Amino acid sequence: MLDLKDIIAKAISKVININEKELEDFIEIPKDTTMGDYAFPCFRLAKELRKAPPAIANDIKENLEIDDKYINKVEIVGGYLNFFVNNSILVEEVLKEFENKNENYGASNIGEGKNIVIEYSSPNIAKPFHIGHLRSTVIGGALYKIYKFLGYNTIGINHLGDYGTQFGKIIEGYKRWGEEYKVEENPIDELTKIYVRINKLCEEDEEILNICRDNFKKLEDGDEYCTNIWQKFRTLSLKEFQRIYNMLNIEFDYWNGEAFYSDKMTEVVQKLEKTGKLIESEGAKIIDLQAQNMSPCIVQKTNGSTTYATRDLAAILYRARTYDFDKDIYVVAYEQNLHFKQVFEVAKLLGIDEKYINGLEHVPFGMVRLKEGKMSTREGTLIKLEDLLNEAITRALKVIEEKNPDLEEKEEVAKKVGIGAVIFNDLANSRIKDEIFDWDTMLNFQGETGPYIQYIYVRTKSVIEKAGYVPEFKDVDITKLEDNQSVETIKTIYNFENILKQVTEKNEPSILSRYLIELSQKFSSFYTANKIITEEKDLQDARLYITYAVGTILKTGAELLGIQMPNRM
């Protein structure tokens, strides 16, 4: 595919003798198109070249040799070199590339031979799958799909919370009151009631809490009764979870939760002991991280049971050996920032190759919050994710019945619109920001929302259906696409692959979300300014082809986010 940034960077590199890849990272796309299609900020070179940015810009322009087939004008504005693209060549190259790739437009092989492990979702078994799990699930799911689309060997892992003291609590509660609850009929809700009840008892009685801790130690040691109950809870939970994953279009390659590493933690402890850095503190075993300005990392509790950190360290060791990863990405809330800093620091003591240490990456995100505040399983103040998704579908159906009551298959459309709205709302802004639910904004068909993108996609489908055909590229007259709206739409199409690369560079799906809004808006302007179905066949073919390309890319991009597109709305 035509790489204009590469062409510009190579030309500048020949003038100032700086690596073209480094220069390419400097090149920006101006928000104001009158300032050019690409801008090179020369102030970045001021210190190295010991000149003022405008002087550097002038020197580069005076000595620049660049193919005017692609770049037809270069201007200096302050300390910037602004490059203007030859629009007719760009239009032809982009549409030719789209013809070759079609629904794979934007895909690449940049990830070929690279293994990416992504850990996401990771709910606790025997607890509700609530809206607090939504962000990890949809952010991780989007990253999984986008990395794969760019050619990476992507391994999606649901690191289930299926181990720890909370299971000692649920086991104890089930022992005491199991017959009072209909666990088989409604497992998650009933187990939650047991958990809330036993948790209150633990707060009132320290001895009960110690019994619960001992239950977990028994589970670690393979106690038959505790293991059987735990396995029952796990099986019932996974059945419930899968139904929600199906609704969200989420998939995993492995479901290796914390329990999977139960027989792999002894090696971790032994490796750390050999370093001499695993020390005893108040009966527990810790790694002192004071030199790194962090609190100690607890590897083993006073009763000999393990911690989250021990299990994460065992997972790193296992994944390095099994997947030979280039990146091991953890999509986990920012509340766990300290935990991952500790774990990644201690992982340096495991004796694994430095490339694995460098590949560890925590991708934090903000919390989902209700207007009433934070949620808590202990207090029983949760909104189940399935209830939220069903509410979104119900609300979407109500909007459809008001706007288009005769729509065919409106229940299926409402499902795609409602769930798509929830997913897009989550992925629309930077992942580090907290998300507060606002139904009115989320289901708006006019704003920067999931339904708006779906609406524009349906409009492209409607135009194609009205025309009754999709033209072939060989029949497209490029000269019919010289108006500003056509060119701006095609320039946005051109940027799709670069957008996907940016997502993986920053592990930020909102970059793709914002792009889909921009493409939708550009097409809306194109649609408003240009009559597509006309009596002039050449003009109609050219405009139809843009319409088809936009619809295809909107569908591809939305599916990479986990959103399904309806054919009608």
Contacts of 88 (CB under 8 A, 6+ apart): 478, 479, 482
Are residues 220 and 77 located together in one domain of the fold? no
Alpha carbon distances (Å) from 439 to 171, 279, 371, 448: 38, 52, 12, 14
Mean pLDDT of 327-337: 96
Are residues 407 and 357 located together in one domain of the fold? no
Helix axes 134-149, 224-248, angle to 10 degrees: 70
Are residues 355 and 393 located together in one domain of the fold? no
Catalytic residues: 127, 130, 133
Task: Tell me the sheet residues that pair with 264.
Answer: none
pLDDT of the residue at 479: 94
Pairing relation of β-strands 327-331 and 115-119? Answer: parallel
Q: What is the pLDDT of residues 20-41, one digit of tens each?
A: 888 998 999 998 888 899 999 9
H helices present in 102-223, as ranges? 134-149, 165-177, 187-204, 206-220
Are residues 156 and 69 located together in one domain of the fold? no
Please state, in angstroms and rounded to a whole number, the distance separating the CA atoms of residues 477 and 480: 6
Q: What CATH number corresponds to the domain at position 202?
A: 3.40.50.620
Are residues 73 and 146 located together in one domain of the fold? no
Are residues 191 and 233 located together in one domain of the fold? yes
Number of H helices, E strands in the chain: 22, 12
Q: What CATH number corresponds to the domain at position 79?
A: 3.30.1360.70
Range of the domain at 532: 385-561
pLDDT of the residue at 355: 97
Split into its structural domains, the chain has a count of 3
Q: What is the pLDDT of residues 30-73, one digit of tens each?
A: 988 888 999 999 988 888 888 899 999 999 999 999 988 999 99
Kindly state whether residue 568 falls inside one of the protein's structural domains: no
Are residues 168 and 70 located together in one domain of the fold? no
Are residues 80 and 183 located together in one domain of the fold? no
Q: What CATH number corresponds to the domain at position 522?
A: 1.10.730.10
Residue 526 has pLDDT above 50, yes or no: yes
Residue 379 has pLDDT above 80, yes or no: no
Task: Sheet with 360-363: list strands edge to edge.
Answer: 153-157, 115-119, 327-331, 360-363
DSSP element (H, E) containing 231: helix 224-248
Q: pTM of the prediction?
A: 0.91
Kindly state whether residue 52 falls inside one of the protein's structural domains: yes
H helices present in 468-509, as ranges? 484-494, 496-506
Structure tokens given for 242: 């899968």
**Sign of torsion over alpha carbons 188, 190, 193, 199:** negative
pLDDT of the residue at 533: 95
**Burial letters for 85-114: b for 16+ Cβ neighbours within 10 Å, e otherwise?**
bbbebbbbbbbbbbeebeeebbbeeebeeb
**Burial letters for 340-360: b for 16+ Cβ neighbours within 10 Å, e otherwise?**
bbbbbbbbebbebeeebbebb
CB 378 within 8 A of CB 196: yes
| Residue 503, helix vs strand vs coil | helix
Pairing relation of β-strands 284-287 and 153-157? Answer: unpaired
Which of 85, 112, 139 corresponds to the end of one domain? 85
Torsions phi, psi for 531 (to 5 deg): -75, 120
Over its C-alpha atoms, the chain yields an Rg (Å, rounded) of 28
Helix axes 385-403, 410-427, angle to 10 degrees: 120
- Amino acid making up residue 190: E
3-state secondary structure 388-404: HHHHHHHHHHHHHHHHC
Please state, in angstroms and rounded to a whole number, the distance separating the CA atoms of residues 125 and 241: 9
Please state, in angstroms and rounded to a whole number, the distance separating the CA atoms of residues 542 and 536: 10
pLDDT of the residue at 128: 83
Kindly state whether residue 114 falls inside one of the protein's structural domains: no
* Band (2; pLDDT cuts 50, 70, 90): confident
**Sign of torsion over alpha carbons 531, 536, 537, 541:** negative
| Residue 37, helix vs strand vs coil | coil
Are residues 408 and 495 located together in one domain of the fold? yes
Q: What is the pLDDT of residues 500-509, one digit of tens each?
A: 999 999 999 9
Task: Tell me the sheet residues that pair with 71.
Answer: 85
Structure tokens given for 139: 């952010």
Structure tokens given for 487: 């060119």
Mean pLDDT of 387-405: 91
pLDDT of the residue at 377: 46
Alpha carbon distances (Å) from 181 to 85, 207, 378, 387: 69, 24, 18, 21
CB 551 within 8 A of CB 461: yes
Please state, in angstroms and rounded to a whole number, the distance separating the CA atoms of residues 26 and 39: 9
Give the helix, strand, coil percentages of the chain, each rounded to 5. 60, 10, 30
Alpha carbon distances (Å) from 310 to 259, 262, 270, 307, 329: 11, 10, 12, 5, 18
Are residues 144 and 202 located together in one domain of the fold? yes
Kindly state whether residue 217 falls inside one of the protein's structural domains: yes
pLDDT of the residue at 372: 55
Pairing relation of β-strands 71-77 and 297-300? Answer: unpaired
Q: What is the pLDDT of residues 263-318, one digit of tens each?
A: 999 999 999 999 999 999 999 999 999 999 999 999 998 888 888 999 999 999 99
In this predicted model, which residue has the larger pLDDT, 348 or 192? Answer: 348
| Residue 210, helix vs strand vs coil | helix
Are residues 399 and 346 located together in one domain of the fold? no
What integer best gives the mean pLDDT of the chain? 92
- Amino acid making up residue 180: E
